[in-house]
Structure 1
Amino acid sequence: MQLEGVSGRGDVVDTYISAGAPPGSKVVGGAHLFAAGAARVSSTWRWDAGATDAYVVLGSRLYQVSYGYDEMTGQLYVYPNPVGGGWDKFTMVEQSVWGSGRTLRTARYGMRNDGVLFRWTSWKNPRQYPGFSAVQAMALISETKTYDTFLATTRGGALYTIHIPADTRLKPTVTKVRAGTWQGFETLVAERCGTQSTLLTAIDRDTATAYLYAVGHAKGTATVIQGLGRIPGTFKDPVVARWTRDDAPPRNGE
């Protein structure tokens, strides 16, 4: 899996993780995108046709940021297209993508710091799901035709799945996966592994360390989780998210 971070100086930091036991990693520095300290939260970064884009909270505003290098001049370009304000209170932003063409289904999610989970299918009239104030970190592990699923840790140490039907009339379903020991992780990044599993990077920001887990198909407390060990390196960047190709298959961990 590949992580794309943004350093405190506003620079891209790519970490390539190999899923051995113990895992391996390689860190490559990249372009300077933002003013120092501006970036707060990022969705998955998606690469397509030479450009990389994601939703990024800069200060109190959400932007759809696209960056790449001009084919003629080789010069870096960064396009921060504004979406809206009031995002200084959000601790998570993510986008799910399933299908293509007429079957394309997308949804954007944001977690506000009062525990309200927002979902937009457009940027108007979001659905709001209160009751998630205990959530500390979350990562999208499933993008399907009929639902999305997040894996989430709580401040008390539990690990849950949050299953969100595509039908906006239905409410999310929360299922316990583990009762404790996960409270040390403030950041989760998930990648598809095989056809029904998830490769999970869990970052402890207090110690700047990260651990890799192979998570089987999510089915409550019967979910198989294999710890692969500590990932080499220091993980101190304030913003860390997943990087993927736009044509990569969707995650399907539940």
Structure 2
Amino acid sequence: MSTWYMSTTRQGEQYSYGLLLQGGNLYRHSTITPPGSRARVTATKLGGGWTSFKAIATSNYADPLGRKHSFLYGLNTNGNLYRYAASGTGYKAYGSFGGFKSFKTMAMISQQPTYDTLLMTTTAGALYTIHIPTTATAKPVVKLIRKSGWSSFESLLVEHCGNNYGSVVVGIDHNTDSGYQYAFSRAKGTATAITSYGRIPVAFTGAVHASRTNAWLDGE
């Protein structure tokens, strides 16, 4: 599942939206919660053919200078990482990158004017950042953060934390319905500082999880 983005409308409604995969289909899901009322939930099918994708992640950057980009990344079982650019109400192909056969899951950790950065794990438990410039022909820069310790997580959730490019990361183990919380310094390869806060005392049931954010991710 992708990151979900939150905002407040002029009428005071809480609005959140994001993408999810279900049954091989890609959906845009949105929730609007008016003050003092129940949430209104909608799901719009964007297309099929996503059965072979293990994970998705999104970037949604915009700033006052007019710089913006919106990408969808899909990790495929064939070993490719696909990128799609927002186009109207859907997405169009925007290149792919090979060499990701051993990777398991991912989440967006940074979105900047000229690049996105994914936080990714491998089936063997290694943790990496994948720095991807926004230009169509650019190649990703892969950096190892930790060699092991992350194999049990099927989902990663990331949220901005503090004013020094830090992040809060939650790894979710679907086999035990457990979530484990970590604080990351700004991602700098193996020099990244990681503090473990242990297991979160709630059950993470279900197979689909997403982080909800109203701040731009800047963890790398």
Q: Are 1:217 and 2:186 matched, yes or no? A: yes
- Which residue of structure 2 lines up, in the alignment, with residue 168 of structure 1? 136
Number of the residue aligned with 1:46:
5
Using the size of structure 1 for normalisation, the TM-score is 0.76
**How far did 1:113 drift?**
2.1
Counterpart position of 2:170: 201
> Where do residues 119-130 of structure 1 align in structure 2 (5 Å cutoff)?
119-122=83-86, 123-130=91-98
> What is the one-letter code of the residue matched to 1:216?
S
Q: Residue 52 of structure 1: SS of its match in structure 2? A: strand
Q: Runs of 5+ in structure 1 lacking a partner? A: 1-41
Letter paired with 1:159: L
Over 3 Å counting, the alpha-carbon distance change for 1:69 and 1:253 in structure 2 is closer
Q: Could you tell me which amino acid in structure 1 is paired with residue 76 of structure 2?
A: R
| Residue 181 of structure 1: how far off its partner (Å) | 1.8
Partners of 1:52 and 1:210 in 2: how far apart? 22
- CA RMSD, aligned part only? 1.9
Superposed CA deviations along residues 53-92 of structure 1, whole A, max 9, x for unmatched, are: 11122322112122325689x5653332222110122222
Partners of 2:83 and 2:94 within 8 A in 1:
yes
- The secondary structure found in structure 1 opposite 2:51 is helix
- 1: CA distance between counterparts of 2:92 and 2:202? 41
How far apart are 1:236 and its partner, in Å? 2.2
Secondary structure (helix, strand or coil) at the match of 1:86 reads coil
Partners of 2:159 and 2:34 in 1: CA distance: 29
Correspondence for 1:10: none
Match of 2:210 in 1: 241
1:66 aligns with 2:66: no
Q: Write the distance in 1 (CA, Å) between the matches of 2:196 and 2:35.
A: 43
2:35 and 2:182 map into 1 onto residues whose CA distance is: 39
- Give the equivalent residue in structure 2 for 1:231: 200
Listed as ranges, the matches of 1:16-95 within 5 Å are 42-48=1-7, 49=9, 50=13, 51-69=15-33, 74=37, 76-95=39-58
Per-residue displacement from partner, 1:161-201 (whole Å, max 9, x unpaired)? 11111112111111111111211111111111123111110
Q: Which residue of 1 aligns with 2:156?
A: 188
Q: CA deviation at 1:114?
A: 2.1
d(CA) in 1 for partners of 2:40, 2:208:
20
Percent identical pairs in the alignment equals 37
Q: For residue 80 of structure 1, give the secondary structure of its aligned residue in structure 2.
A: strand
CA apart distance, 1:110: 1.3
What amino acid is aligned across from residue 108 of structure 1 in structure 2? L
Give the Cα separation in 2 of the matches to 1:79 and 1:240. 17
Q: Where does the alignment leave 5 or more consecutive residues of structure 2 unmatched?
A: none
The AA in structure 2 aligned to 1:132 is: F
Structure 2 equivalent of residue 134 of structure 1: 102
Matched residue count: 209
Deviations 1:32-62 (A, max 9, x none): xxxxxxxxxx212222323321112232211
Do the aligned partners of residues 226 and 126 (structure 1) sit closer, same or farther apart at CA in structure 2, a change above 3 Å counting? Answer: same
